[in-house]
Amino acid sequence: MPSTTPWWRSAVIYQVYVRSFADSGGDGVGDIAGIRSRLPYLKSLGVDALWINPWYKSPMADGGYDVADFRAIDPLFGTLADAEQLIADAHEHGIRIIPDIVPNHTSDQHTWFQAALTAGPGSPERERYIFRPGRGPDGAEPPNNWISCFGGPAWTRLPDGDWYLHLYAPEQPDLNWQHPDVHTEFESILRFWFNRGVDGFRIDVAHGLAKDPELPDLPPLPAPADGQPRPYVQHPHWDRDEVHDIYRTWRKIADEFDGERAFVAEAWADTPERLAAYVRPGGLHTAFNFDFLMASWDAKDLRTVIDDSLAMLSGVGAPATWVLSNHDVMRHTSRYARKTVARWVPNQRYQPEGDIDLELGTRRARAAALLMLALPGGAYIYQGDELGLPEVEDLSEAVLQDPIWERSGHTDRGRDGCRVPIPWSGQSAPFGFSPADASGEPWLPQPANWSERSVQAQTGDHTSMLELYRTALHLRRNHPALGDGSLAWVDAPVGVLAFRRAPGLLCVVNLSDEPYRLPEHTATLLASGPITDGLLEPDHAIWLQV
């Protein structure tokens, strides 16, 4: 029967990192035509929507997150007509489109910033960004001690003496959201794309738009007590209450359009309560649940994250979203490939320790997929998760392109390892990512052994990661217990997670070191690995009909 529940409460959304998904033109860079060519694959996989990383006109100082024109497609990816055709084709396949929007900053090549450079200190053009004089007798010191997320100071000085704020790369100047022009412009941008049929937006750095107008120095942040989250501190440029006024206006704009247009926030918050504030009634629809992504491979930690997330979000009537990987973090197949998986600390690159065991990581990744897809709410799959792709940790320094590499003084290799183009077919690079007669190599080199992980190699192999995902997604769409709703925990030994979804589904995940005997009188719907004599082995998961 048709569901009356809004689609975004249960949706499985597939993240497309455009440069690395499919290259139709043969230049080694993925493009919009490449996405269009793979829509049948995405439909067969069973996803509900695509989140597409920035496709706007950009100098690509940060992979497209430095936007020069929000109403134009970068020629590297295609044209506006190509984007409009993709939206139409995706809808014909029953797939929604959710592009990124980047409201915290623009490119330094944006017409506004170029006008600000020309106009000079004190001009109205500079008020759309955050320009300030420096400190000290000659203004040679930055206005405050804020640090860029990519390393180094968050301020750059111009020859005319003014400093401008950039919480990321210098090529990404922060906008001043106290200026009415900024509000008006982004409201217009939203309508521009809604009118072209997009089904929503993923909001980049949703927690960063509002800054303390006094621009105070960063205070020392208190350390958390043992086993406790870091105490919440009102930060001068992260997760300030003023951001919610912006999003209440955006929600009203989305509601003007037919078809249940929806937002998802990339919002880093110190507590579940702070995260829930983004999705209160009248605010955004959903927000990424990074606590789940950051959790260790530990039953107690995962259950705490699940309980806290569901409690806080249900309190404001919003669904949870679950995610294991994205374009900014180490792929979870590799995160889980160490015997002990520590909890990831926000705002720090994940640097796991210990010997890597990809067989272990793959086994855990299979179990984690069944856990994620059985939880109430929606889920996000980063391209290549369904292939079990690991992080490419041996890229040579010569090919690294993430600005973090340079900004950190070559101490942090950045995020390129999770952005390597995915393999589709064949025995050698580019593995079907580019046409056979491509003129260029993939923009990042692919490992030689990825032929065994390609879509072609895994299709039809019932033991493969791809077929596990495909089966799980189709079961999830058709089983009445899965998607939006609630769960009920079932008593289980230490190290085992077990919960029911009504009607009639039991999910069990064994994170212990011992086999777990499954309950009798149940039927297996799907398991992450072989089940022998009714035992669920360590690092395995199962869905049971009860």
The residues annotated as belonging to the active site are: 204, 256
Please name which of 9, 5, 4 lies closest in space to residue 379, comparing C-alpha atoms: 9
Kindly report the backbone phi and psi dihedral angles of residue 379, in degrees, each rounded to the nearest multiple of 5, phi listed first. Answer: -145, 155
Q: Which amino acid, one-letter code, is at 431?
A: F
Q: What is the crossing angle of helices 243-255 and 180-194, to 10°?
A: 30
Residue 142 is encoded by which pair of tokens? 């930055």
Q: Is the peptide bond before 376 cis (omega within 30 degrees of 0)?
A: no
Contact between 247 and 277 under an 8 Å Cβ cutoff? The reply is no
Yes or no: say if 23 and 434 are a contact pair by the CB < 8 Å rule: yes
DSSP string across 391-437: P-TT--GGG---HHHHHTTSS--TTGGG-SPPP-SSSSTTTTSS-TT
- Euclidean distance between the first and the last CA atom of the chain, given in angstroms as a whole number: 22
CA pair distance 262, 327, nearest whole angstrom: 21
CB distance 25 to 75 below 8 Å: no
For 17, which DSSP code? -
Q: What does the alpha-carbon distance between residue 308 and residue 288 come to, in Å, rounded to a whole number?
A: 14
What is the amino acid identity at position 333?
T
The pair phi, psi for residue 262, each rounded to 5°, is -140, 150
- Tell which residue, 419, 442, 446, has the closest CA to residue 17: 419
Q: Give long-range contacts, CB 8 A cutoff, 24+ apart: 71-77.
A: 71/189, 71/192, 73/32, 76/19, 76/29, 76/31, 77/18, 77/29, 77/30, 77/31, 77/32
Tell me whether the omega of the peptide bond preceding residue 352 falls within 30 degrees of 0, making it cis. no
Give the Cβ contact number of residue 101 at 10 Å: 22
CB 15 within 8 A of CB 389: no
As a dihedral over the C-alpha atoms of residue 67, residue 73, residue 74, residue 75, rounded to 10 degrees, the angle is: -170
